[in-house]
């Protein structure tokens, strides 16, 4: 699942894990393509079906990458939305704390957060 916002995130709802997480200043097709290239370097996603919202940049980037996707609002998407709500809960003060830092500092914090989120309890 890729989320349409200032951060892009891929979640595996079957194992409740963040697979790839990036912060961008905006969301565009070009940035989504960068995200997908990085994702392919880390994970084998060729047979995956991406569940996405209606954001056109997601549809375009996934189609250009020849990755299968499905726009959905029910089923596994609900599980994914629960993970996103949890992420938002944990990062609610993020924009206040990091509004004046270098983008790399914010990115490093989010990467550390993703590692913490995925750590076994």
**What would the mean pLDDT of 105-112 be, rounded to a whole number?**
80
Residue 57, token pair as written in the block:
């940049």
**What would the mean pLDDT of 20-32 be, rounded to a whole number?**
87
Q: For residue 61, give Cα distances in angstroms to 11, 66, 94.
A: 17, 9, 27
Q: How confident is the model at residue 4 (pLDDT cuts 50, 70, 90)?
A: very low
Question: Residue 35, class by beta-carbon neighbours within 10 Å (0-12 exposed, 13-18 middle, 19+ buried)?
Answer: buried
Total residue count of the chain as it appears in this document: 121
Q: 5 pLDDT exceeds 80?
A: no
Residue 25, token pair as written in the block:
């200043």
pLDDT-above-90 percentage for the chain: 30
* Full-model pTM: 0.77
Coil, strand or helix: which one is 69?
strand
Indicate the average pLDDT of the chain. 81
DSSP state of 2: B
pLDDT at 97: 66
């Amino acid at each position: 699942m890729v989320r349409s916002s200032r951060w892009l995130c891929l979640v595996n709802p079957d194992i409740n894990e963040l697979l790839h997480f990036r912060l961008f200043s905006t969301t565009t097709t070009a940035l989504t393509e960068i995200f997908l290239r990085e994702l392919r370097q880390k994970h084998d996603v060729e047979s995956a079906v991406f569940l996405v919202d209606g954001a056109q940049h997601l549809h375009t980037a996934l189609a250009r990458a020849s990755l299968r996707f499905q726009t959905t609002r029910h089923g596994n998407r609900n599980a994914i939305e629960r993970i996103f709500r949890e992420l938002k809960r944990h990062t609610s003060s993020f924009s206040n704390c990091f509004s004046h830092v270098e983008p790399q500092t914010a990115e490093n914090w989010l990467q550390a957060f993703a590692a913490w989120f995925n750590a076994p309890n």
